[in-house]
Every structure is written in structure tokens, then in C-alpha cells.
Homo-oligomer: A and B are copies of this chain.
Amino acid sequence: MNKLKKGCLIVFSGPSGAGKDTILNKIMGEKENLKLSVSHTTRPPREGEINGKSYYFVSRQEFIKMAENGEMLEYATYCGNYYGTSAVKVQDELEKGNDVILEIEVQGAEQVMKKVPEALSIFILPPSLSELKKRLKNRGADSDEVINRRVKEAEKEIALAHNYDYVIINDDIEKSAKKVLKIIELQEMKSQNMKHIIDEVLSSEKNIG
């Protein structure tokens, strides 16, 4: 039945350090037909990040050209770098019946939720601001100055959490991953995704045997 219907677009956001990556690492591969969209970015790769897997790493010039050509479903600047999602790639996966997760910054998430109101949106919340700061420090990727800026941005982002369908407080990775999977599974039962089944029942034979 899944093959007949288009997949579901899933907006997955939350402040840097909330644990989005770790949760997605747990759930990817756990569910058939669930694909992670790979974003484009102009920020330099961190150690261990692979082009085409973590991100498509592109130059500022290339990125701006894509955006100007209308090829981006969303894009945003964050701490001085561009991040964006290619609309064509997402559309391809949805047409195949795959559910597609967009792991994106809050600015980009707002754009997608406006453009695609039927998208499922999930916000990952850190248990507290001090815990967020601790996680960013432990990651060791950023200077104190950048961390303080990220925490400040996080406050603004968390204030927008009520715009999402679901909010998960990430105080336990295993539990949070399970919650995300359950939310995605339940999408199949949302009435807008059951239309073809409702029609099937209504057109079924009324007589017994």
C-alpha cells in the first residue's frame, strides 16, 4: 500500500547541541522507507565529515547560484555559513514513497513548515541551557565565543518550539530515538494519509460471502 502513496516529509530541528545527530544515528536503518536528506552547506567540513554523506560541501558562489535558480526547498545562514536543502532530491524520494527527514536549522525549518504545511515537524529540546552548553563544550568543535553565541541563538530557537507538531525533551538518547520512531510510524494513521483506505472501504461489496 505504501508504494501507492507519496512519502511523508519530516522536519527535524532544534538548537545545535540538542542531540539531533545522535538521535538520527540511532533511528536511521530502523525503519524501511525512511531516508535522511543530505543538506548543502558552505561551512568547512568538521573532522570525519564526508562530502555527500554528512553534507554536500559547496562554495559560497555555488550555493548562491542554486538558491537564485530556485533549487532550494529552504536555506538559511547560521553563524555566517549557508545551509540548504535541494528540492529536487527531496521530491524524488517522496515520489518513490519514502519518508524523508530534513535535519535542519530552525530558520530553514520555519520556511519548510510554511511551504509544506502537511509536513510532520519535530523539535528536539535540550533538558536545560546549562546542559546544552556542556554538550557543546564536550563536543570540542567550537571556541567559547562560538559556544556562547550558539547558546544565545538556542534561546531564540527554543522560543519557537511551539510552532512544531511535536516537541521531545532529549534527556535520554534511547528514549528520544524511540519517541521519534513512534511519531513517524503513527503518521501512516493520520486521516490525510488514510484517504485511499477510506475510499476502498466505501467502495467495498456490502453483501456477506
Chain A interface residues (CB < 8 Å from chain B): 123, 125-130, 133-134, 137, 151, 155, 158-159, 161-169, 179, 182-183, 185-186, 189-192, 194-195, 197-198, 201-202, 204-209
Contacts and interface: CB of A to CB of B under 8 A. Distances in A.
Please tell me how many copies of the chain the complex holds: 2
Report whether over half of chain A's contact residues are helix, strand or loop; otherwise say mixed. helix
Given A127-B201, A158-B202, A162-B191, 12 more contacts: A123-B191, A125-B198, A126-B201, A129-B201, A130-B204, A130-B205, A130-B209, A161-B198, A162-B195, A165-B191, A166-B190, A183-B189
A23 to B, nearest CB: 13
Nearest to A197: B169
Nearest to A137: B208
B191 A129 contact: no
B201 A186 contact: no
A201 B128 contact: yes
8 contacts: A126-B201, A128-B205, A133-B206, A134-B208, A162-B194, A162-B198, A167-B190, A179-B186
